[in-house]
Protein backbone atom coordinates (compact mmCIF):
# COMPACT_ATOMS: atom_id res chain seq x y z
CA UNK A 1 0.00 0.00 0.00
CA UNK A 2 0.99 3.59 -0.54
CA UNK A 3 0.65 6.39 1.97
CA UNK A 4 -2.92 7.79 1.94
CA UNK A 5 -4.17 4.74 0.04
CA UNK A 6 -7.38 3.04 1.18
CA UNK A 7 -7.80 -0.71 0.78
CA UNK A 8 -10.71 -3.03 1.43
CA UNK A 9 -10.53 -6.66 2.55
CA UNK A 10 -13.59 -8.94 2.56
CA UNK A 11 -13.31 -11.93 4.88
CA UNK A 12 -15.57 -14.99 4.61
CA UNK A 13 -17.49 -16.18 7.70
CA UNK A 14 -15.39 -19.31 8.21
CA UNK A 15 -12.23 -17.18 8.25
CA UNK A 16 -13.36 -14.84 11.07
CA UNK A 17 -14.05 -17.31 13.88
CA UNK A 18 -11.03 -16.16 15.93
CA UNK A 19 -11.47 -12.46 15.15
CA UNK A 20 -13.62 -11.54 18.20
CA UNK A 21 -11.07 -12.85 20.71
CA UNK A 22 -8.11 -11.29 18.87
CA UNK A 23 -9.98 -7.99 18.63
CA UNK A 24 -10.84 -8.17 22.36
CA UNK A 25 -7.17 -8.64 23.26
CA UNK A 26 -6.06 -5.72 21.05
CA UNK A 27 -8.79 -3.49 22.47
CA UNK A 28 -7.79 -4.39 26.03
CA UNK A 29 -4.14 -3.61 25.27
CA UNK A 30 -5.11 -0.27 23.72
CA UNK A 31 -7.28 0.65 26.73
CA UNK A 32 -4.45 -0.27 29.12
CA UNK A 33 -1.98 1.90 27.20
CA UNK A 34 -4.36 4.87 27.18
CA UNK A 35 -5.07 4.47 30.90
CA UNK A 36 -1.43 3.62 31.74
CA UNK A 37 -2.41 0.36 33.43
CA UNK A 38 -1.26 -3.22 33.04
CA UNK A 39 -3.04 -5.71 30.81
CA UNK A 40 -4.29 -8.62 32.89
CA UNK A 41 -4.04 -11.94 31.12
CA UNK A 42 -7.11 -14.10 31.23
CA UNK A 43 -7.02 -17.84 30.98
CA UNK A 44 -9.87 -19.84 29.49
CA UNK A 45 -10.72 -23.49 29.84
CA UNK A 46 -11.51 -25.33 26.61
CA UNK A 47 -14.63 -26.83 28.22
CA UNK A 48 -16.05 -23.52 29.41
CA UNK A 49 -19.48 -22.17 28.58
CA UNK A 50 -20.37 -19.48 26.07
CA UNK A 51 -17.54 -17.10 25.21
CA UNK A 52 -18.00 -13.47 26.18
CA UNK A 53 -15.63 -10.62 25.37
CA UNK A 54 -17.17 -7.75 27.29
CA UNK A 55 -17.72 -5.89 24.01
CA UNK A 56 -21.31 -6.09 22.76
CA UNK A 57 -20.45 -6.00 19.06
CA UNK A 58 -17.84 -8.79 19.44
CA UNK A 59 -20.20 -10.93 21.55
CA UNK A 60 -22.81 -10.56 18.80
CA UNK A 61 -20.25 -11.65 16.20
CA UNK A 62 -19.51 -14.78 18.27
CA UNK A 63 -23.23 -15.61 18.47
CA UNK A 64 -23.99 -14.66 14.84
CA UNK A 65 -20.89 -15.16 12.66
CA UNK A 66 -21.00 -13.25 9.39
CA UNK A 67 -18.59 -12.02 6.71
CA UNK A 68 -16.54 -8.96 7.63
CA UNK A 69 -15.18 -6.10 5.57
CA UNK A 70 -12.04 -4.35 6.77
CA UNK A 71 -11.22 -0.94 5.34
CA UNK A 72 -7.64 0.21 5.94
CA UNK A 73 -6.38 3.75 5.38
CA UNK A 74 -2.57 3.93 5.45
CA UNK A 75 -1.74 7.27 7.02
CA UNK A 76 1.97 6.87 7.70
CA UNK A 77 4.78 4.36 7.28
CA UNK A 78 7.25 4.16 10.15
CA UNK A 79 10.70 2.73 9.72
CA UNK A 80 12.12 0.56 12.53
CA UNK A 81 14.37 3.48 13.55
CA UNK A 82 11.38 5.87 13.86
CA UNK A 83 9.95 4.31 17.04
CA UNK A 84 10.94 2.31 20.09
CA UNK A 85 10.24 -1.36 19.44
CA UNK A 86 8.21 -3.42 21.92
CA UNK A 87 9.82 -6.60 23.22
CA UNK A 88 7.60 -8.83 21.05
CA UNK A 89 9.10 -7.15 17.97
CA UNK A 90 12.71 -7.89 18.98
CA UNK A 91 14.80 -10.97 18.46
CA UNK A 92 16.69 -12.47 21.42
CA UNK A 93 19.87 -10.49 20.69
CA UNK A 94 18.03 -7.15 20.64
CA UNK A 95 16.17 -8.02 23.85
CA UNK A 96 19.47 -8.71 25.63
CA UNK A 97 20.90 -5.43 24.31
CA UNK A 98 17.90 -3.52 25.72
CA UNK A 99 18.24 -4.92 29.26
CA UNK A 100 20.86 -2.40 30.40
CA UNK A 101 18.93 0.54 28.95
CA UNK A 102 15.73 -0.63 30.63
CA UNK A 103 17.56 -1.08 33.93
CA UNK A 104 18.93 2.46 33.80
CA UNK A 105 15.54 3.90 32.86
CA UNK A 106 13.92 1.98 35.72
CA UNK A 107 16.51 3.27 38.20
CA UNK A 108 15.89 6.85 37.05
CA UNK A 109 12.13 6.45 37.42
CA UNK A 110 12.60 4.95 40.88
CA UNK A 111 14.79 7.89 41.93
CA UNK A 112 12.23 10.36 40.59
CA UNK A 113 9.34 8.69 42.42
CA UNK A 114 11.43 8.44 45.61
CA UNK A 115 12.21 12.16 45.41
CA UNK A 116 8.51 12.98 44.90
CA UNK A 117 7.62 10.89 47.97
CA UNK A 118 10.28 12.68 50.00
CA UNK A 119 8.91 16.10 49.02
CA UNK A 120 5.15 15.42 48.83
CA UNK A 121 4.68 12.22 50.83
CA UNK A 122 3.16 9.00 49.56
CA UNK A 123 -0.10 9.36 47.62
CA UNK A 124 -3.26 8.77 49.64
CA UNK A 125 -4.99 5.50 48.80
CA UNK A 126 -8.74 5.20 48.49
CA UNK A 127 -10.32 2.81 50.95
Burial class (CB in 10 A: 0-12, 13-18, 19+), 20: buried
Beta carbons of 121 and 114 less than 8 angstroms apart? no
Of residues 48 and 86, more confidently modeled: 86
Q: What is the pLDDT of residues 47-77, one digit of tens each?
A: 555 678 899 999 999 999 999 999 999 999 9
Q: What is the pLDDT of residues 39-49, one digit of tens each?
A: 555 555 555 55
Listed residue (9, 55, 61) closest to 28, CA to CA: 55
Amino acid sequence: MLVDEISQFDIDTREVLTYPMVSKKLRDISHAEMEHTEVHHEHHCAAMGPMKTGYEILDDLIQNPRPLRFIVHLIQVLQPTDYEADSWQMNSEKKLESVETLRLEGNELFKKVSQEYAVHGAPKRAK
